[in-house]
C-alpha cells in the first residue's frame, strides 16, 4: 500500500565497488582496460563478418548481432562506473536509474533469446544439413533476431512498470555501482513481495528454464555428432562451435540465475557477480569465438593485414 504523504525520491546514491581511493584507482585501470578491449574486439567481429565474403552463414549473421548486443550491454554500466571512480558522492537521477535498468534488462534479455536462436541454428545445421540453407534463410534469421529484441523489450517493460509504481520516500542509497531491480526494490516504502515474486518469475525463472533447455539442446547435438559422424574436420568444427556456445551460455546464464532466481536479499558475492555479468562477460564473447573458430580468426587476420597494407600505401 502506498503511503498517503511522502517526499518522492529524485535521485539515488550509489555506494560503488569500494570506498578506498587506492582500490578505486586500481579498479579504474582494470575495468578501463576491459572496456577498451570489449569495444574493438566486438567491432572487429562485426566488421569481419560484414566484409568477408566467406562468412555468409546464418551462424555468422547471428554472431554479428551478438557482438553488437555485447557492445551495447557493456556500455550501459561501464562508462558511468568508470567516471564514478573519481566522484566522491556517486549520484544517479531517478529517471537515469530507470533508464539504466530498462536498457540493462532489454539488452540482457535480448541476448538470452538470441542465444536460444543460435542453438536452433546449430540444430538445423547438424540435424538437417541438407535443408539448412532453406530453413535458416536470411528472412527467417532477421525475423528471429527481431523477435529476440521484441522479447527483450517486453521483458524490460515489465520490470520498469513494476518499479515505477513503487513509492520511494526515504532511503535512497543503493549498495551497488549501477541501478538494478534487486537493489531498487529493497529501498521502496512499501511491501514489495508481490513485485519481487513477479520479477523473480519473469527474470529468474525464465533464466533457469532457458539455461536448462539450452544445455539439454547442446548435449543432444553433441551426442548426435559423436554417434552419426566420423572424426572429420567438419565434425570437429561443429563440435568446437557447440562448445563455444555452451561456454557463452554458462557465462551468461550462471550470474543471471544467481542474481534474479532468488529473493532479493543482499549477499557478499553480489557485487562480484554483478561485475562479472555486466563488465567481464561481454569481453569473453569475442575471445571465445575468435579462439575456437578458425574461419573467424583467418578472416580477422586478412582484414587487419588489409588495413595495415592500405595504411602503408597511403603513407607512401
- The C-alpha atoms of residue 277 and residue 287 are separated, in whole angstroms, by 16
Please, which residues have CB within 8 angstroms of residue 302's CB and are 6 or more apart in sequence?
52
- The C-alpha atoms of residue 144 and residue 150 are separated, in whole angstroms, by 10
Lowest mean pLDDT among 91-105, 141-155, 184-198, 283-297: 283-297
pLDDT per residue as tens digits for the range 10-43: 899 999 998 888 999 999 999 998 888 878 888 8
Q: Average pLDDT over the chain, rounded to whole?
A: 87
- For residue 209, pLDDT over 60 is answered with yes
Lowest mean pLDDT among 107-116, 159-168, 272-281: 272-281
**Residue 300 banded pLDDT, cuts 50, 70, 90:** confident
**Residue 308 banded pLDDT, cuts 50, 70, 90:** confident
Give me the pLDDT at residue 263, please.
Answer: 86
CA end-to-end span of the chain, whole Å? 73
302 contacts 57 by C-beta, under 8 angstroms: no
Give me the pLDDT at residue 1, please.
Answer: 43
- The C-alpha atoms of residue 155 and residue 68 are separated, in whole angstroms, by 19
Give me the pLDDT at residue 2, please.
Answer: 47
Give me the pLDDT at residue 215, please.
Answer: 93
Give me the pLDDT at residue 316, please.
Answer: 64
289 contacts 247 by C-beta, under 8 angstroms: no
From residue 259, alpha-carbon distances to 93, 105, 255, 312 in Å are 23, 13, 6, 49
From residue 95, alpha-carbon distances to 77, 156, 183 in Å are 15, 15, 16
Calculate the CA dihedral of residues 303, 304, 309, 315 and round it to 10 degrees.
Answer: 130
Give me the pLDDT at residue 239, please.
Answer: 86
70 contacts 52 by C-beta, under 8 angstroms: no
- Sheet containing 173-174: which strands, arranged edge to edge? 90-93, 11-14, 173-174
> For 296, what's the count of Cα atoms within 13 Å in the CB-facing half-sphere?
27
Share of the chain above pLDDT 90, in %: 45
- For residue 191, pLDDT over 80 is answered with yes
pLDDT per residue as tens digits for the range 31-84: 998 888 878 888 888 999 998 888 889 999 999 999 999 899 989 999 999 999
- For residue 230, pLDDT over 70 is answered with no
Write the Ramachandran bin of 125: left for phi over 0, alpha for psi from -120 to 50, otherwise beta. Answer: alpha
Query: Residue holding cell 554483478?
Result: 274
- For residue 136, pLDDT over 90 is answered with yes
* Cross-strand pairs, 92: 12
Please, which residues have CB within 8 angstroms of residue 27's CB and are 6 or more apart in sequence?
17, 18, 85
- The C-alpha atoms of residue 144 and residue 136 are separated, in whole angstroms, by 10
303 contacts 48 by C-beta, under 8 angstroms: yes
pTM, whole model, 2 decimals? 0.90
Of 102, 41, 111, residue with least CA distance to 77: 102
- For residue 131, pLDDT over 60 is answered with yes
pLDDT per residue as tens digits for the range 254-268: 999 999 998 888 888
* pLDDT, mean of residues 138-144: 95
Lowest mean pLDDT among 37-51, 239-253, 278-292: 278-292
Amino acid at each position: 500500500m502506498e503511503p498517503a504523504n511522502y517526499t518522492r525520491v529524485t535521485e539515488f546514491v550509489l555506494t560503488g565497488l569500494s570506498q578506498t581511493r587506492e582500490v578505486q584507482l586500481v579498479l579504474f585501470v582494470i575495468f578501463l582496460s576491459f572496456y577498451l578491449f570489449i569495444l574493438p574486439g566486438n567491432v572487429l567481429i562485426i566488421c569481419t563478418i560484414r566484409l568477408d565474403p566467406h562468412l555468409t552463414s546464418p551462424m555468422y549473421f547471428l554472431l554479428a548481432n551478438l557482438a553488437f548486443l555485447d557492445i551495447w550491454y557493456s556500455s550501459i554500466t561501464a562508462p558511468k562506473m568508470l567516471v564514478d571512480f573519481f566522484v566522491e558522492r556517486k549520484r544517479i537521477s531517478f529517471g537515469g536509474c530507470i533508464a539504466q535498468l530498462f536498457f540493462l534488462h532489454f539488452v540482457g534479455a535480448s541476448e538470452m533469446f538470441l542465444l536460444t536462436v543460435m542453438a536452433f541454428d546449430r540444430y538445423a545445421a547438424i540435424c538437417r544439413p541438407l535443408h539448412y540453407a532453406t530453413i535458416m534463410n536470411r528472412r527467417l534469421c532477421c525475423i528471429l533476431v527481431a523477435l529476440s529484441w521484441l522479447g527483450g523489450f517486453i521483458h524490460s517493460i515489465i520490470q520498469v512498470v513494476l518499479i515505477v509504481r513503487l513509492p520511494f520516500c526515504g532511503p535512497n542509497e543503493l549498495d551497488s555501482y549501477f541501478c538494478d531491480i534487486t537493489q531498487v526494490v529493497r529501498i521502496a516504502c512499501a511491501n514489495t513481495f508481490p513485485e519481487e515474486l513477479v520479477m523473480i518469475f519473469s527474470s529468474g525463472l525464465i533464466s533457469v528454464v532457458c539455461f536448462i533447455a539450452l544445455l539439454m539442446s547442446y548435449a543432444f547435438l553433441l551426442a548426435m555428432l559423436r554417434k552419426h559422424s566420423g572424426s572429420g574436420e567438419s565434425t570437429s568444427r561443429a563440435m568446437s562451435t557447440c562448445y563455444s556456445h555452451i561456454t557463452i551460455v554458462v557465462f551468461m546464464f550462471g550470474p543471471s540465475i544467481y542474481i534474479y532466481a532468488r529473493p532479493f536479499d543482499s549477499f557478499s558475492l553480489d557485487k562480484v557477480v554483478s561485475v562479472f555479468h555486466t563488465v567481464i562477460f561481454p569481453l569473453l564473447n569475442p575471445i571465445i569465438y575468435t579462439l575456437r573458430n578458425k574461419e573467424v580468426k583467418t578472416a580477422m587476420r586478412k582484414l587487419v593485414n588489409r588495413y595495415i597494407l592500405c595504411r602503408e600505401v597511403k603513407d607512401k
